Structure 1
């Protein structure tokens, strides 16, 4: 994500919080990858605050907070605002807390040579070493003491850790993805990190981060061909040509397949961060692969594209007329047995486009059933339950998942007579609450999004068994309160949430919880009861009908629009997922 997008999205977080809540490392380039500081902005255009002569103490604290967003050389910019003794003793590595806005009050009083201020703020999140954002809520209160030395105010007492106001955070940091492999090794999973927005060694920093491994929580969901034993350094023998040259030291000899997987991780991590290519990847000064002496490009690893193009929705499910096909002239019956299904309430297509799973029930108060089968074949009934949430397809094994009666997590395989039904470990989901209304596996098969009791959670799926992993589920979008009803994956790093509110009924959230952005509120009336996404388009069912939004349209043209031929007809979106 580029800096401008980060700024725009961050402003949107404030908007959502107001609507839905009660309150909204420098890495070495030539040694083993380990986190030293948080990150080091080194762009020439960054304005670095410095103490102003005869500055009032409260204004000096304000400038200190701005400087604290710059982690270069153990927060050298911020240490200028401290007395020599405080600068030596300040533990800036303890914790980095991001707050909405810092309010100062001189409750401790101010004398001729001393002052004490209380800083109070609403917490937004924290930033771990390695650029991992963790959403947080609550109030922060710290005391900052100042002393006058040589006629100038300086901070002489402050607690361990760093406090950064969000406005400063988003002006000095940007959201970027590291990429790891799925358990099958043929697809990529994004691991979002926050790095300095402006720095000259971005490529080496990101690859060093890649070598430290994935964030806690997804370690058992992904694989990596970039071992922690490697050191990364610029190729000092490079001729200065176009692109980026990176030399890996300590990299073992890899098979042809592993070399391609390694390159996919590195190339897509660099390309998505706008680090210029081609990428000349070397092992101890020699090309990693002789076929790519001139460098790798994304075209060489295109099969690993983590954000492939997606076609708009082609089908919809109507309660009265079953499956319909969407065409320019309107909607018409898709034909075949699926068009004979009545009472359909939710449908999902497999990622290869061959299978369809439908939850149907003539009466919402009555039993519901899961139908599954080839989209051009005969649907078969797999199970019935009082309530069913889903379905969602796993992209690797092609089986559909549903949550039955808020307690049983099952996956269903098509092709058998009857379809195969396997109980899974639903305990990690049941531990989150009692009522499950949303269930969606991401496009890589590594993560699961659920809505439980109106709250949104993201959890990891085992790379070996596919089961949900206990202890990995974390709530995101806390500013939305308990208003969520349904969820879908917009792409592998962003979800889209439907809510039971009339204000901001549809919202996107990045998987790390750092960015929350309401979508257009034009021509939509919450609550939202169904949601899906395909490429640039988002689809919802509101109080009236099935609607679509083109998120790539000019801002002034972003209206929720009815589907041609389905106006005022009860219908649900049908997309892969």
Structure 2
């Protein structure tokens, strides 16, 4: 500590990683206001099990208070105000305070983030603790009615909590008896885990073992047996100097088969790999409940074989050129050439297109937006008009750009105000099936889809939905079933992913991240990343472009971004500026 000089204020912001707040217990004979302030301060400090925070509570309240049940994030932190006391401080036996603020989000017991802009107000009660005569707390002010869970400001939240992707296997991946089963892809389930400065790996694994968040649960599954936990007493998990991580489990996993064990290890590998960068983890070993006997060992190659990335490794980027035909360019070259097959020949002018994840098929929307075409990208392949047309009178209210999922199926939205609908085509060539929505899209028929992008895993879908004159980004779950041998699909529980922005363009850009273009109320156009749960990662907005109408990003985050701006088709590699590819072009896309 300095022994001289003037004190200086320190802003505990995400840009000051060296700043840490250490929780302190209550002082003897502290006044009610001091007790409340001290308690709120501990909620922003290094108190991982909240043991110091409980010292500010009465014995009964300390037992019942559950800080893990809810975290409320306020714009500027809670502001306490004293409720009118009945008696003066010297004679009062209880005191009431009100905590106020503007809530921006909540974190539930599943660690799931939920944007929530509303007024926060909660009453807090303090009493003089009556304990054993002469005891430490006898006659001391303590909180008898604490807030529900934890409440803190947004700056402290960003300092204390980190977004983590848990991984679970996509459900309902079987397509039919005539097809070979394919490995189920892993689906990112973003949660926020507390840690100062970083979440302990053991806490992240505990969150994984607790299962998926309630929103994602209907479309994913975990390979861990029910009630599997870390071995009792396990508080830390640390890779050794060979980047090997040993994870002891309880007896629920003692008798699992090796194949299942490796799928469990893959979930842990992908969940922890990003957190441990730049060094990473090279091997995960699961242990029996004795803490020593090995269940299975999985390395990086084995993990990727068990759960291959459904986004794959794109070979090219694509866009519509000035002749209104589909062209491609290598990922690191400005050279363009037309794709093989009639889809790239120019026999049908296009205004938008999508390429399958395996880069063998393409779908395009006609220049006037009325019709959808599908064709193989190989020499001599014909162009087939799909059984999808829009009857909207205005060209800009017809078919939106299509999208392929990781299962090889095609999706397209009809923006017709009189008949807005989302359609699914099996393998891109099957009969179109109208996708159902629950009432959150608009029970009275309001709302129409302006753009659709299906995640590579096939169980999450990003939509731009226009409602009440504004266009917002929504993320939904894809549910699949059959009835009478016919496929039925629905999108449920749409939730906002950029609640403060009116979004005009978007693309998936990672396991739980999207690239969006839009603006906040009264603001200017910006391009930035957002999380699929509606939170903002600690990344600044991207360098500006003028008049951006479309963006393309890969779920492989190492690949360059592509955009259509008023300058033309531009591309940006990580850490570089935007570079012009061609002056005339539109609708850039990666496979997907």
TM-score (norm 2): 0.75
Name the stretch that deviates more: 58-67 or 307-316.
307-316
Q: What secondary structure, in the 3-state scheme, does the structure 2 residue paired with 1:180 have?
A: strand
Equivalence for 1:545: 568
Structure 2 residue corresponding to 1:496, chosen from 507, 510, 515: 515
Q: What secondary structure, in the 3-state scheme, does the structure 2 residue paired with 1:233 have?
A: coil
After superposition, the C-alpha distances for 1:444-476 in whole angstroms (9 at most, x for unaligned) are: 112111111212211112366686545432222
Name the stretch that deviates more: 158-167 or 70-79.
70-79
**1:348-367 equivalences in 2 (<5 Å):** 348-362=354-368
Cα distance in 2 for partners of 1:46, 1:233 equals: 31
Cα distance in 1 for partners of 2:245, 2:495 equals: 37
**1:63-462 equivalences in 2 (<5 Å):** 63-69=38-44, 75-82=50-57, 87=62, 90=65, 92=67, 95-102=70-77, 104=79, 106=81, 108=83, 112-113=89-90, 116-145=96-125, 154-155=142-143, 157-183=145-171, 184=173, 185-198=183-196, 202-233=200-231, 242=241, 243-248=244-249, 249-251=251-253, 253-254=255-256, 257-274=259-276, 278-285=283-290, 286-289=293-296, 295-303=297-305, 304=307, 310-311=313-314, 313-326=316-329, 328=333, 330-334=335-339, 336-337=341-342, 338-341=344-347, 343-362=349-368, 368-376=370-378, 377-382=381-386, 383-385=388-390, 386=392, 387-396=398-407, 398-404=408-414, 405=416, 407-413=420-426, 419-428=429-438, 431-432=441-442, 433-453=446-466, 454-462=471-479
Cα distance in 2 for partners of 1:81, 1:359 equals: 64
Higher normalized contact order (CA 8 Å, seq sep 6+, divided by chain length) = 1
- 8 Å CA contact 2:78, 2:152 repeated in 1: no
Cα distance in 1 for partners of 2:247, 2:49 equals: 26
Cα distance in 2 for partners of 1:226, 1:145 equals: 43
- 8 Å CA contact 1:68, 1:77 repeated in 2: no
Change (3 A) 1:330 1:169: same
Shift of residue 189, structure 1, vs aligned partner: 0.8
Cα distance in 1 for partners of 2:96, 2:63 equals: 20
Shift of residue 388, structure 1, vs aligned partner: 1.3
Q: What secondary structure, in the 3-state scheme, does the structure 2 residue paired with 1:348 have?
A: strand
Cα distance in 2 for partners of 1:313, 1:10 equals: 40
Equivalence for 2:395: none
Shift of residue 519, structure 1, vs aligned partner: 5.8
Change (3 A) 1:464 1:245: farther
Shift of residue 104, structure 1, vs aligned partner: 2.5
Shift of residue 356, structure 1, vs aligned partner: 0.9
Shift of residue 161, structure 1, vs aligned partner: 3.3
Shift of residue 100, structure 1, vs aligned partner: 1.7
Equivalence for 1:25: none
Q: What secondary structure, in the 3-state scheme, does the structure 1 residue paired with 2:359 have?
A: coil
Change (3 A) 1:519 1:209: closer
**1:527-566 equivalences in 2 (<5 Å):** 528-534=548-554, 535=557, 536-550=559-573, 552-553=574-575, 557=576, 559-563=577-581, 566=582
Equivalence for 1:42: none
**1:474-489 equivalences in 2 (<5 Å):** 474-480=495-501, 483-489=502-508
TM-score (norm 1): 0.77
After superposition, the C-alpha distances for 1:87-118 in whole angstroms (9 at most, x for unaligned) are: 46656465331212135364535854466543
Change (3 A) 1:326 1:505: same
Report the aligned-residue RMSD. 3.9
Higher share in helix: 1
After superposition, the C-alpha distances for 1:408-435 in whole angstroms (9 at most, x for unaligned) are: 32223468xxx32221333238834422
After superposition, the C-alpha distances for 1:243-267 in whole angstroms (9 at most, x for unaligned) are: 3322332227555543432221122
After superposition, the C-alpha distances for 1:32-80 in whole angstroms (9 at most, x for unaligned) are: xxxxxxxxxxxxx762233357877656534422312469686322233
Cα distance in 2 for partners of 1:472, 1:104 equals: 33
Structure 2 unmatched ranges of 5 or more: 1-11, 130-137, 174-182, 393-397
- 8 Å CA contact 1:9, 1:517 repeated in 2: no
- 8 Å CA contact 1:392, 1:439 repeated in 2: yes
Rg larger for? 2
Cα distance in 2 for partners of 1:60, 1:264 equals: 46
